[in-house]
Structure 1
Amino acid sequence: MPRPQVVVSVAAAPPRRGIDSDTGRTFLIWPGTTGPQNPVRCRAATEATDAGIPQPYAQYVADALAEGSPEVIAVRADIAALDAAGAQVSVWANALAKADVATYGIGQVIIPGVASQNAHDALLAHADATNRCVLLDGDVDSTVAELTAFAAAQEAKPGAVRAGLIAGWVSAVGTAGVDRQIPGSVIVAGLVGRRDGLLGHAGGVPAGSQNGAGISRLATNVSLTFTDAQQDVLADNGINPLVRRPGQVLLGNWRSLSADSRWTQLQFGRLAMQIGNGAAGVLDEFLFRTIDARGQLANEIEAAVVSLLAQLEASDALYGTNGSSYRVVVSDSPADAAAGLVRVSIEAAFSKYAERLVFDVVVQQPGALTEEVA
């Protein structure tokens, strides 16, 4: 038997995945002519390569997990990677349809690195059909004019309230110390998952330096830099840049592509996704229940939905206190009852993030006294 001693071993740890959340998962669509036909659920980086997903897409799965996504659902689109930029909308739509909401839930959908109009169109149509959030990429070297053109093509579509366009790719340390480039949507999908897991809801903002919420764990540099004036243009067009600050790379904004000013902040669309999905799950329990004339079923349904909204209000995702941020109305119409219909109406006030902080500084001459105000 060996002598008593302390034995230390050091090994590379796999990338950490994020905290479980219903809204934080990533759906990653990758182009390929070989590999798994069906969606692959990855909660560890090795699961992508073990399933036969090729590089660099298996690496993108690992990157999203490392940034904070709790899991990545990787879905193959039947198109060669070299032909992805020219793929028809139907190619992407067919891939997106494989990951149905009933089986795989909600979250963020990305087609990393593909900045084509068809890929963007497919993502916006998917957002409208499923209520999922979608994150669009520009090219690694897109100009401001190109990015605003991408945004303008999507801003009037119904899915735009749950869509964000990410400006710029990032650099990260690769094998043998050689930098590699990662599409911005991969990084931001991970930031979203990290934020949702910490807060427990989709109303947080994965941008800025606030407690590290918008700071990438992987990125060392960005492919694009923007002047202050250019960042204003991006903000006006619902485009979210990845920006470099001393010692860090962070997401610089959180805007939707929607032209509707009521949906400018992207967490509004994501909260609507969460509430819609949560309400659907709650209300599913009431299917086949008898609609009574005394309103008992209506009261139970109202209480269940109110519970969902009260939790969001308590965590400041909704703006209000003591139930003032939401209103739930369940129909008691005899006509609806005769049709076997229970109609539920939900109104909610979403909490906005602080867009501008203004400091007023008063400078006094040495020895001067501040005038007292009565």
Structure 2
Amino acid sequence: MSEIRPGVQFVREFAPRKTSPAVDTRTTFMVGLTKAGVTDAQVLVRSFAEFQDAFQTGGQHSKVFETAVAAFFQFGNAPLWVAKVADAESNGKPNDAAWQAALDLFTVDLGPGQVLAPGQSDTKAHKRLAAHALATNRVALLDGAKDADPAALKQLATGLAVSPGSDRCALFGNWAVTPDGGDIPASVIAAIQTTKVDAISNIQPIEQQATPIAGITVKAWADKDKTAAYKDGANLVISRPGGVVLGGYRSVLADPGTYDFSATRLMMWLEAQIKTLSAQFIGSPITTDTVATFHGAVASLLSRVFSAGGLFGETAQEAYLVDTRSVNTPETAAKRELNARVSIRIAEHVELVKVHAVSVPVTETI
């Protein structure tokens, strides 16, 4: 633009739209085979009709994935990102690189949530999902084989236990069946129930806390087999009046700090929220007021979790501690750092109820 002097110059520009970081832990990420669709981008779908528009249905090798997505929207209601695995001339068996390329489409900026590859039940697939969950602050919902028994599930859980990201994984052992005979991998049932529970509340979406999914069935397991599978790191889908529910919600690890999968989801939520909150302080002058404001923001976030019932303690002081005093010093200020140390006591969940009844003779007092 030429300048006229003396004169007035007015330059009109459009600022880019500000977007908030994605922190909805209900968001679900599914990777699998589809009949059609792009393989170089992830696609957000909000209904099965949108999935059909983007990927079509009726593919030779995509029935399990199509049934999974259909069930997800029939019985649930959450944002779903889909990535198609390139299947050129592989006869329904893409190589490891193709699976990894599809997973990589779910970039970290899409936020936290649960990632799954419905029906993929081998250790390689599980390790890919575990590594992805670790890199993106997500949790992974894993499948056992359709006909897996307790021994097979134990082998899967054991094979994953030492892998990076295994603390973010839960294994679900038995598949469900639709009225027309379609197979629904157990990870999909877990995703449906998981997305109905906000991570901040730290509630397990199991039989007592979740609405049964009606219209589908699962093969019944003997009590000893259910107990064995759960002990060895696998959760089962079980039948109850009104439909099917999750019979457990534990991770593949037995470590006390990572055993409870609801606690894992809560930590995922906290990581996403604290990162978003902390980013707002970048560029702020390092002063005592800034440190105090930062402390208050983190403490306020944890107060929300405590009020929602996600932490253990009769008072907030018993449930969490935010330390910004000892970790912010002249030395850290010289390094241009703003620090916080957070300690939290995440509430455990009842896994066994014991009642001891004593029969007292009528001639005796209680």
Q: TM-score range by the shorter chain?
A: 0.7 to 0.9
Shift in CA distance, 255/83, structure 1 to aligned 2, threshold 3 Å: farther
User: Cα deviation per residue 1:27-46 (whole Å; 9 max; x = unaligned)?
Assistant: 01012473123211122221
How far does the alpha carbon of each residue in 1:237-287 deviate from its partner, in whole angstroms, 9 at most, with x for none? Answer: 221011123442211111101242221111121111010001011111111
Deviates more, 1:158-167 or 1:239-248: 239-248
Query: Are 1:71 and 2:68 an aligned pair?
Result: no
1:142 paired residue number: 148
Change (3 A) 1:105 1:133: same
| Equivalent residue pairs, number | 336
Q: Does 1:242 align with 2:224?
A: no
Residue 201 of structure 1 corresponds to: 200
Distance change in 2, residues 1:291/1:217 (3 Å) = farther
- Are the counterparts in 2 of residues 202 and 267 from structure 1 also a CA contact under 8 Å? no
SS in 1 for 2:312: coil
Question: 1:291-302 maps to which residues of 2 (within 5 A)?
Answer: 291-292=286-287, 295-302=288-295
Q: Distance in 2 between matches of 1:202 and 1:31?
A: 34
Indicate the residue corresponding to 2:274 in structure 1: 279
Aligned partner letter, 2:251: S
Contact kept in structure 2, 1:142 and 1:168, CA below 8 Å: yes
Q: Describe the superposition over 1:122-163 as per-residue Cα deviations: whole angstroms up to 9, x where unpaired.
A: 001112212201000111111221111110011123412211
Quote the Cα distance in structure 2 between the aligned partners of 1:270 and 1:327: 20
CA distance in 1, matches of 2:84, 2:94: 16
- Matches for 1:1-374 after TM superposition, within 5 Å: 22-32=24-34, 34-37=36-39, 38-55=41-58, 56=63, 57-79=65-87, 87-88=95-96, 90-102=97-109, 104-173=110-179, 178-196=180-198, 201=200, 203-210=202-209, 213=210, 215-219=212-216, 221-222=217-218, 224-292=219-287, 295-320=288-313, 321-330=315-324, 331-363=327-359, 368-372=362-366
Supply the distance in 1 between the matched residues of 2:272 and 2:220 (Cα, whole angstroms): 37
Structure 2: segments with no counterpart, 5+ residues: 1-21
Deviation at 1:86, TM superposition (A): 6.3
Kept in 1, the 8 Å contact 2:205–2:249? The answer is yes
* C-alpha distance in structure 1 between counterparts of 2:139 and 2:102, whole Å: 16
- Percent identity of equivalent pairs: 27
Shift of residue 54, structure 1, vs aligned partner = 3.2
Against the structure 1 CA distance between its residues 138 and 192, is the aligned structure 2 distance closer, same or farther, given a 3 Å change threshold? same
Q: Contact (CA 8 Å) 1:148, 1:237: kept in 2 or not?
A: yes
Deviation at 1:53, TM superposition (A): 4.4
> Could you tell me which amino acid in structure 1 is paired with residue 277 of structure 2?
V
> Taking structure 2 as the reference length, what is the TM-score of the superposition?
0.85
Secondary structure of the corresponding residue to residue 153 of structure 1: helix
Q: Partner amino acid for 2:36?
A: T
Relative to structure 1, is the Cα distance of residues 82 and 253 closer, same or farther in structure 2, using a 3 angstrom cutoff? farther
Q: Which amino acid aligns with 1:322?
A: A
Between stretches 242-251 and 301-310, larger displacement belongs to 242-251
Q: List alignment gaps of at least 5 residues for structure 1.
A: 1-19
Q: Which amino acid aligns with 1:101?
A: V
Q: Shift of the alpha carbon at 1:323?
A: 3.6
* Cα distance in 2 for residues equivalent to 1:304 and 1:114: 41
Aligned-partner SS, 2:321: strand
CA-CA distance at 1:21 after TM superposition: 8.0
Contact in 2 for aligned 1:85/1:115 (Cα 8 Å): no
Counterpart CA distance in 1 for 2:321 and 2:56 is 46
**Residue of structure 2 in register with 1:11 after alignment:** none
* Alpha-carbon distance in structure 1 between the residues aligned to 2:241 and 2:212: 12
Q: Counterpart in 2 of 1:9?
A: none
Task: Tell whether the 8 Å contact from 1:171 to 1:179 is kept in structure 2 after alignment.
Answer: yes
Structure 1 residues 240, 34: closer, same or farther in 2, change over 3 A? same
- Cross-structure match for 1:12: none
Quick one: structure 1 residues 234 and 81, their matched pair in 2 at CA, closer, same or farther if it must change by over 3 Å? Answer: farther
- Change in 2 beyond 3 A, CA 1:83/1:146: farther
Say whether the 8 Å CA contact 2:114–2:141 is kept in structure 1: yes
Q: What secondary structure does 2:55 align onto?
A: coil
Deviation of 1:290 after TM superposition, in Å, equals 1.3
* Cα separation, 1, equivalents of 2:36 and 2:53: 14
Q: Structure 1 residue 370: deviation in Å? A: 4.2
